[in-house]
Amino acid sequence: MASARVCLQWTLILFNTFSVIIGILAIVAGVYELEKFTDGSAEHTEKIVQLAAASVLVISAFIGCCGAVNGSIKILCLFIVILVGLIASHIWKLWRYDEGKQLTATEMLVTYTWIAELVKPGAMIEMQATYECCGKKSYVDYTSLGLELPRSCFRVQNGMRAVYPFGEGCMSAVKKAYLTIYRYERLAHWSLIGFEVLGILLSIILICKLTAKTRRYRY
């Protein structure tokens, strides 16, 4: 029985080590994506919530480790409560999942960037280079206005620029890229729910083992 309890304690410590890694990766991803959205927008608020949930996950990992190492039932109960709260945040995010809304936000981003390009050339450079696209709908957006195609519209390899520009417009390329990321995020939320449920089950089993140990000592 003692060996089983120790095994559970180390399993929970390992679980929380993974939680720290996942939480830190989620924070990095959230900070990177936060810059893509306008302050005060619904998408910006959701990313703030994501960052908060990731931070709580990291904090909960330390609490879980503390509870496992010390064999404290109270700390493990607190750990379970935090995990339940995190699961609720994932469910909230999945409930708000809306691909149409995401595509609309992406369209606005590309449109504003293109308008900025027309006002001050250079605004599209990063987007075009990152997503290998040219113009809003195609490179014709430049040529139809008598504008020279920027270097970011061409694939560059070993310092040599390709002869032909990217055939896809940024509206199409960025929408596809963002939608793929959005779908991966949905999968990540479902995976985290399963991961956190596992943490709750491990904690409950460990609490039962610790409770049984206390009862034996009383007898």
For residues 175 and 103, the answer to whether their CB atoms sit within 8 Å is: yes
Cα 150 from chain centroid (whole Å): 32
Closest residue by Cα to residue 49 from 105, 91, 3, 102: 91
CATH architecture of 102-172: Orthogonal Bundle (1.10)
What is the H or E stretch that residue 160 is in? Answer: strand 160-161
Residue 157's DSSP bridge partners are 160
Q: Whole-angstrom Cα distance, residue 102 to residue 93?
A: 13
Closest residue by Cα to residue 143 from 161, 123, 169: 169
How confident is the prediction along the chain (219 residues), in pLDDT tens digits per residue?
A: 567 778 888 888 899 999 999 989 888 877 777 766 666 566 667 777 778 888 999 999 999 999 888 888 899 999 999 999 999 988 988 888 888 888 888 899 899 999 999 999 999 999 999 999 999 999 999 999 999 999 999 998 877 788 889 999 999 999 999 899 888 888 988 999 999 999 999 999 989 888 875 555 454
Q: Which two tokens stand for residue 25?
A: 């990766």
Q: Which two tokens stand for residue 92?
A: 């909230």
Scanning 39-72, the segments in alpha helix (DSSP H) are 42-70
For residues 47 and 164, the answer to whether their CB atoms sit within 8 Å is: no
Specify the pLDDT at position 219.
Answer: 44
Closest residue by Cα to residue 14 from 212, 206, 218, 217: 206
Domain ranges in the chain? 2-97+192-218, 102-172
Specify the pLDDT at position 150.
Answer: 92
Helices (H) and strands (E) in the chain, counts: 7, 2
Q: Whole-angstrom Cα distance, residue 14 to residue 9?
A: 9
Specify the pLDDT at position 100.
Answer: 87
Please tell me whether residue 133 adopts helix, strand or coil conformation: coil
Specify the pLDDT at position 217.
Answer: 47
State the amino acid at position 64 in one-letter form.
G
